[in-house]
Structure 1
Amino acid sequence: MLSPPGVANLLPRLIWTRQMAVNRLLVESAAKSPAVRVDGAGESSKPSRDPNLNPLVAKVRQLMSSGPNDGWEKCWEEGVTPWDLGQTTPIISHLIQTGKLPEGRILVPGCGTGYDVVAMASSTRFVVGLDVSTTAINKAKELSSSLPNARYFTFLEEDFFTWTPPELFDVIFDYTFFCAIHPSMRSAWASKVSELLKPNGELITLMYLFDDQEVGPPYNTSVADYLEVLNRVGFKAISIVDNDLAVKQRKGAEKLGRWKKILIQSSL
């Protein structure tokens, strides 16, 4: 028996919506603890990442024990994605609406279901969403393939650290990627960002900052951590400001950083 027109296209969205609802139920159970309050995306108001208080984060860490790439895939397969807001990151919407998001080729590493990729894509911006998870990339494609601006973005299943694109980028947007990789990989992250950006390209970092974690992900992250690895490869911070548009329970824990890749001219 054939489904009514359009129903088949809705099924992936309905399934994903149900999984997000399950995630929220788990988060709500964690929020009942008097020691912590957690929002719908699995973020606490402190923010705290104590796995005894946040079952989603505890589950992420358990799944990640099999290794980074396999671990992220398992998280997406099981719908354990507390970092996924289920919407465009508010600051991205603001940058677009105020004309403060640069044009050109944009890369979003660790794109997940691709809300930010889709929001940024336009006739003046071609956006590439990158993720190591097959499930995440498939979900991103299912949710966005029929959108009017689909020709201005693409989703690729690739490892950011080993991927070589056919063209360099004007902008790289990093959010919940830097804090998700092991701190030992941060120098490699900075080198890869430098490698993938055009001369005078811009890096936009939405920095999620906390210092109370003994393990991860997410790992302890500070502005100094960004400065240390980015200055080393020739980036200069143009601005680092509080993110006043952070979702409610992340307010006070996020800063928006904008960095320029500075051309080093020879004195010879």
Structure 2
Amino acid sequence: MSAPDTVTLAAGCKVNLHLRLTGRLDNGYHSLESLFVPLAAPTDTLTLTFGPQGGPFALTCSDPALEGKANTVARAWRAFCAATGLAPALAVRLDKGVPTGAGLGGGSADAALVLRELNARAGARALAPAALARLGASIGADVPFFLGRGPAWAEGIGDALAPVELALAGLALVVLCPPEQVGTAWAYAAWDAAHPGGADPHCSLTWTKERFKSSPCSLPPLYNSFEEVVFPAHPNLRRYKEKLLLDGACGAVMSGSGASVLGLFRDALQAENCARGFREASVRAFVHCF
């Protein structure tokens, strides 16, 4: 590693336009099929200051509650050091823009960014892409996706990824980040309790990566298995979805295990007007035009 230096990087997020839970595994994880789409906003900002080998790791965050050893950034540094034998001093300042408990994968994006930067500085000890992805999966199922660059169809626990090209040109996406938070562990437990058989029976359309070989591909149905258990516990999220549709969205769905909700619009101006209305009601709203 080089002499001490500082770099500031932006970590975006992702949305799930389709998420179907297909089974519960013996190790406690769940198998799924999902369509991941990366977004540049909302964004976390990470300022990384590197020092010499053998130095300490330190993390400060705009949300002090996230500064512990369980933070994905801290886990990424420890995992990379263990895998490569390198131990560069690293001080991280994390300024959160991606809300926690929103289903947008902010923590996984942060971990992926740190892994990528560490690997770029590792010289001869740098990990091959497949090895880096496996390391990322040990931190979080979504981390391998953020090590890539574009939309992907995900299977397995979300780590079996196939890049896809989507026919999204001309569409606008409104992403709502309400003040509510939905715990991922709670959402999975609630879904398990509602589905003793371990699979979602309500979405009969089966999409696999084979469906994406013709490029570009149309979208699978906007669907999220978690809505069944999250909406009764958080009725405002159902109302946000309904409002997106009333405001002209051609489709709306919750992302991840919640609490973010998104709507696809065919008209960018209509999307901007919808987002403005939510902001006036104190709900954070972002617009992404494809």
Per residue, is there more strand in 1 or in 2? 2
TM-score of the superposition, structure 1-length normalised?
Answer: 0.26
Greater relative CO (CA pairs within 8 A, separation 6+): 2
Per residue, is there more helix in 1 or in 2? 1
TM-score of the superposition, structure 2-length normalised?
Answer: 0.24
